[in-house]
Structure 1
């Protein structure tokens, strides 16, 4: 329940963030400050927040109790072993479990689709290519029966298995005669949707079977696993870390950690095999601790990231409501880890994305409104101190205001010139990073890869496309840096010459993406070479590897273009808003002083009008502060390290 409660709180917190975006958008519309570019950026933030899900991936070799662990963690309240995990019935195809508004179903992608060039992501957009089985969410037994398809296998000839990329001579044991036929999974991938409370809150479970499945589906290792917020690597206490476990850890799991966006933990399952009626509880604890210490040394991970437990006994305990057995199973420590460390980290990342997306705009709006309120209060103070019989004082104030107006007009001319220069630079920046340009490069080199019949030829084509993409990004980095320098100079000029020193230029850089792109290519090469003695030398799987990498590269570069467009749309907006407000205040002040100068009796009336003008500005300020509080207010449920201080959020850019 602790994890479920935390996930529900997380969902409620996301709703508050979405409300903050909606309220800020409504505020901009209400005061006629919204622009098309800013609206598109806010809509994009809103969509991303709405579609955001938290994925927990389970990785293990066969027969480690991984699916039983999923049953124990998430589906025990059904009262049955929902996903098939009995001995000899292991999940054969990668499986994603989530909640979809379309209803309850299981979709199965035939194994034969491996012969096509389309990626799993592309197949997900083609529901007609999947076998669909409707699920009765109110009947765990019907669902349990339907899920048996996850373990379905069939026998095919060795030649057919090779053609599918599911068989290699190295899979045979030394001295074995090649069989006439081999067993392969019926399905390549499975998608399961039903309205479980955790899934409805945005949880996605990724169940990945065996080393060979990961080795033959590069998209799993290079895209789906790195996209998960938590990866649980499952071992069995009765076998320890076997050679195949170690291969899986080194080739597919190790290296995923080290990012704030992802947590990797090790589950040492089946500790019930160490329970011994002839041994004391202390003796069993020492035995388990010894296994944990040894596993930590082998895998080179911290001991506190290894969770010894018994999924089988935990599931039994939850079904029977046996608290003592549940405690003995040690599942709660893993649940607490997911509910605290993983959830807290995810909140911090999501909050940062939202505050970076609209934080500077919100901060700038608040700065402008506060400045306007201060100026109105200053005018009120001047009028209240004004002696209506002293025409010299009124004249002096009017001269001062006209001087401000002249300075303002000069600043407008200067700004228009600066904006024209920026517009040309921004256009060049977006042309350099154009998705069309990126797609043309990928399309050209994809044809070269498809025409090549050797691994070496494909590798050379892959290197060529990455060199070109890296060159595009490198050129983009230079232009973005130049544009940022131009924006900084514009802000500095207006601070020095026109008195707009309370505004800061929104900062932006894409330099970090150069490392991301280089790492992506290196990941692909590491994956290819690490599997050179097994399936990966097969042309089919090599091709799928490169298609996966290119798809990720394309997505990354399109994302960079979108982020660059978003930044260019708002880079000068703080100055635009400040100039507009400055113009309004000067005109308002001149009008008041003219009236006072013409009619000495109107002073009190003008003071009253100014007070009435101040009231709505103070309301605007209160509205913005309420929106800011909506973003910041969640911090009470987190530790201080998990959330930036209020001042940081207010100026995030």
Structure 2
């Protein structure tokens, strides 16, 4: 698969997101047209539209130094420049974590964040909101030399004292860092880099995250605990000529392996530099055996499927693309990795996004369709009943009136019971939201910061952190218990109306705290694994410990904030489908009684009544037809309600 083919996949995904967004806009317009919308529904649609329009596919590359990772990125994404754009020569490699994307609003540039910002409490995510905090180098995309010169800044280092490097979390004994005779060490000039570049793949929504080495991952918790987990795929690069080294294994176990356990993210292992195995005295069969042996060994050591391992030569692939040599490109085996990125990763992301659309908004569309279907079904039933009545048989008409009034009486009793249950549910839903109170969470976090500031030892900080994690866990568990009770109450309310009045089409939207609890458990486990990783020596310094715990707490707060928001919206909307059907059913009973009365009193003929019902039915069918267009547009994996009777 070529760059053009990957671009086609990304373009198709972007077009698909546009189609789904247009369908949601049409649904909002449909709600407005017929006065059926609500503030909660509008908020859900707006939130989903923002997610669709801002969605990017992020592929993260992780490797120790000298594995050819940057050369691989050059071969995959920048060969069309005709040069080695990112610095990947010996001694000149990317030194700081780098994000590469396309910023349509601000053009082409490199933004660099000083390494000294590590001494501040502000997270990287906050710095990204303040462009003035970064040094910017504008890129002239018409000048290859200017861009090459600008990109060299990614590899810039500076010499500082051991004390300063230690304070920044970039030096500890026994980490292999060489100290000069004057007691100084080299450290990166930059903490993080943001690159906006008008590559076609980046313009289609691809983002590349380049993570340079175990030390960078081990001393920047936000990178490991936030940025890597947010990527849709991680490409772990090894050198085929050395196999899995100790430092490779440390990075794999402590920062990468978790991706293999998640179906929502892709994980590929690249065995780079297979050209070191090329031997003119060895035939292709022997070479294939040698490569397969290395793949098999790597699969066993890392405990991954061989299909997830891609033996390639990034160096030869870049050369082949620059020289337009298809034979050399095939020999480099890069196309197999390109197919994975173009097919598996993009397809997987589309499936995930479709599930999110179905979960967040699909239920709303389905509820609207179910309500319309119920209305149409009720009118069809009334028409069938009236067409089977002899207009001169007053006894039959009176019998229908008695039956309908009895139905109305039973229904009004049920509605009174519903209103009582609704009040109970309102109290229960408020308890759920209150259990996720942001004031309580922020109070815990503020107290933790005060306690950590007064803790001068690593042991003291660990004790403080254990307490805050236990407190946040307790909040989530308490909310989980209340959510379970509330869900049972909702199901009982729906079941009552389903049994008594046949409201089988209306199903309650599910809400569970389990997802948020699992996210918190995984976050806390990752934080603890990070602290116990091979880079733990660096973490004995308070600046890095505070950054680690600050990252964990910030992400935990985000999880609880999302749970609070989702619980609030769920509580406000969970009975909406049932409320709509109750109103429609009440209106249908009243309409039926009025028409039977008119027939009984001979103020309206049976034919006139039937014509009136048919007139009411026509606009409902039109509404359903318009909604069906929305449903068809959302059909890419969505569960579509059955079409109402025509």
Match of 2:172 among 168, 174, 181: 168
Confirm or deny: 8 A CA contact 1:383 1:607 kept in the other structure: yes
1:411 Cα deviation after fit: 2.7
Question: Whole-Å Cα distance in 1 between the matches of residues 59 and 422 of structure 2?
Answer: 47
Q: Which residue of 1 aligns with 2:274?
A: 271
Confirm or deny: 8 A CA contact 1:222 1:524 kept in the other structure: yes
Question: Whole-Å Cα distance in 2 between the matches of residues 435 and 99 of structure 1?
Answer: 35
Confirm or deny: 8 A CA contact 1:108 1:190 kept in the other structure: yes
Question: Whole-Å Cα distance in 2 between the matches of residues 520 and 178 of structure 1?
Answer: 42
Q: Which residue of 1 aligns with 2:399?
A: 396
Q: Which residue of 2 aligns with 1:258?
A: 261
Q: Which residue of 2 aligns with 1:129?
A: 133
CA displacement, residues 290-329 of structure 1 (integer Å, 9 cap, x when unaligned)? 1111211222211111101111111222222221111111
Match of 2:86 among 79, 83, 87: 83
Q: Which residue of 1 aligns with 2:36?
A: 33
Alignment of 1:191-270 (within 5 A): 191-270=194-273
Q: Which residue of 2 aligns with 1:413?
A: 416
CA displacement, residues 392-444 of structure 1 (integer Å, 9 cap, x when unaligned)? 22222222222233233223322222211111111111111122221111111
Question: Whole-Å Cα distance in 2 between the matches of residues 424 and 232 of structure 1?
Answer: 49
1:467 Cα deviation after fit: 1.0
Confirm or deny: 8 A CA contact 2:312 2:332 kept in the other structure: yes
Question: Whole-Å Cα distance in 1 between the matches of residues 457 and 488 of structure 2?
Answer: 47
Q: Which residue of 1 aligns with 2:307?
A: 304
Question: Whole-Å Cα distance in 2 between the matches of residues 13 and 178 of structure 1?
Answer: 60
Question: Whole-Å Cα distance in 2 between the matches of residues 394 and 377 of structure 1?
Answer: 18
1:560 Cα deviation after fit: 1.0
Between stretches 549-558 and 117-126, larger displacement belongs to: 117-126
Aligned residues: 639
SS across alignment from 2:67: coil
Q: Which residue of 2 aligns with 1:606?
A: 609
Between stretches 598-607 and 582-591, larger displacement belongs to: 598-607
Q: Which residue of 2 aligns with 1:158?
A: 162
- From the superposition, tell whether residues 179 and 210 of structure 1 become closer, same or farther in structure 2 (CA, over 3 Å): farther
Between stretches 372-381 and 616-625, larger displacement belongs to: 616-625
Match of 1:143 among 147, 155, 159: 147
Between stretches 243-252 and 207-216, larger displacement belongs to: 243-252
1:532 Cα deviation after fit: 5.8
Match of 1:42 among 42, 45, 58: 45
Confirm or deny: 8 A CA contact 1:106 1:134 kept in the other structure: yes
Confirm or deny: 8 A CA contact 2:171 2:177 kept in the other structure: no
Unaligned runs of 5+ in 2: none
Alignment of 1:183-194 (within 5 A): 183-194=186-197
Unaligned runs of 5+ in 1: 635-642
Q: Which residue of 2 aligns with 1:640?
A: none
CA displacement, residues 356-400 of structure 1 (integer Å, 9 cap, x when unaligned)? 112222222211111111111122222323322222222222222
Question: Whole-Å Cα distance in 2 between the matches of residues 116 and 515 of structure 1?
Answer: 31
Between stretches 67-76 and 55-64, larger displacement belongs to: 67-76
CA displacement, residues 241-295 of structure 1 (integer Å, 9 cap, x when unaligned)? 2222122112211222211111111101111121122221222222111111121
CA displacement, residues 58-101 of structure 1 (integer Å, 9 cap, x when unaligned)? 00111111111111112222222222222221000000011222
CA displacement, residues 583-604 of structure 1 (integer Å, 9 cap, x when unaligned)? 2222322332233334476332
CA displacement, residues 138-177 of structure 1 (integer Å, 9 cap, x when unaligned)? 4444333211111111111222111211111213489x88
SS across alignment from 1:531: coil
Q: Which residue of 2 aligns with 1:284?
A: 287
Q: Which residue of 2 aligns with 1:356?
A: 359
Question: Whole-Å Cα distance in 2 between the matches of residues 583 and 26 of structure 1?
Answer: 26
RMSD of aligned alpha carbons: 2.0
1:343 Cα deviation after fit: 1.8
Match of 2:106 among 94, 97, 102: 102
- From the superposition, tell whether residues 102 and 584 of structure 1 become closer, same or farther in structure 2 (CA, over 3 Å): farther
Confirm or deny: 8 A CA contact 1:60 1:210 kept in the other structure: yes
Q: Which residue of 1 aligns with 2:468?
A: 465
Matched, 1:557 2:577: no
Q: Which residue of 2 aligns with 1:112?
A: 116
SS across alignment from 1:155: strand
Confirm or deny: 8 A CA contact 1:261 1:345 kept in the other structure: yes
TM-score by length of 2: 0.95
